[in-house]
């Protein structure tokens, strides 16, 4: 079954495009997109160091372009996935009345890691650490969607 999955972070240039690319590489039959809660980088490709770190794992991000999350996304996707609690609060603030689309933290899908958010590598500079967590979680997400 095909699911429509939206990954969301703050800038849509580091964590959510990495999650989009990693999930698409693993599960290309789903309809996958990403967005930022901010409009700071609209139209920009993923951040160079994240592109490089992802490419070293065989994940291509270069064709992605940042866009801002909009309320209509609640109707366009079956599942919306945020990278941290701020993302989820900013997403929930835009939920249309009556909409029941689930919004979940990505880390829910990698409970064995014990993290409650994906630290932002734009600030931590730990691109590989973020990708380790993202790859584990999209593997868990893929398994979840098969059930």
* Binding status of residue 11 toward ligand 4NP by CB under 6 A: yes
Among the listed residues 125, 122, 112, the one whose alpha carbon sits nearest the alpha carbon of residue 133: 112
Least separation, in Å, of the C-beta of 1 and ligand 4NP? Answer: 29
Q: How far is the CB of 32 from ligand 4NP (least distance, A)?
A: 16
- By 3-state DSSP, what share of the chain in percent is helix, strand and coil, each rounded to 5? 45, 15, 45
Told to check if 138 binds ligand 4NP by CB under 6 A, we report no
CA Rg value for the chain? 14
By CB under 6 A, residue 9 contacts ligand 4NP: yes
Smallest gap from residue 133 Cβ to ligand 4NP (A): 12
Residue whose entry in the numeric block shows the structure tokens 């599942």: 79
Of 64 and 141, the one with the shorter C-beta distance to ligand 4NP is 64
Instruction: Give the number of residues in contact with ligand 4NP, rule: CB under 6 A.
Output: 10
Residue from 6, 14, 131, 133 in contact with ligand 4NP (CB under 6 A): 14
* CB-CB contact of 84 with 19 (8 Å): no
User: Quick one: which of 65, 122, 132, 139 contacts ligand 4NP (CB under 6 A)?
Assistant: 122
The residues that bridge with 25 in the sheet, in sequence order, are: none
Here the tokens at position 74 are 């609640």
Report yes or no: 74 and 107 within 8 Å, Cβ to Cβ. Answer: no
Residue numbers at the binding site for ligand 4NP (CB under 6 A): 9-15, 40, 120, 122
């Amino acid at each position: 079954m095909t699911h429509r999955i939206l990954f969301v972070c703050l800038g849509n240039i580091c964590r959510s495009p990495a999650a989009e690319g990693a999930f698409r590489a693993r599960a290309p039959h789903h309809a996958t997109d990403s967005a930022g809660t901010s409009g700071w980088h609209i139209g920009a490709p993923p951040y160079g160091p994240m592109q490089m770190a992802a490419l070293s794992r065989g994940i291509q991000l270069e064709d992605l372009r940042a866009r801002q999350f909009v309320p209509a996304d609640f109707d366009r996707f079956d599942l919306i996935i945020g990278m941290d609690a701020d993302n989820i609060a900013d997403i929930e603030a835009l939920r249309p009345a009556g909409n029941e689309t689930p919004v979940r933290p990505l880390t829910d899908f990698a409970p064995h890691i014990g993290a409650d958010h994906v630290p932002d590598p734009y600030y931590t500079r730990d691109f590989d650490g973020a990708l380790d967590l993202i790859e584990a979680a999209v593997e868990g997400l893929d398994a979840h969607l098969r059930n």
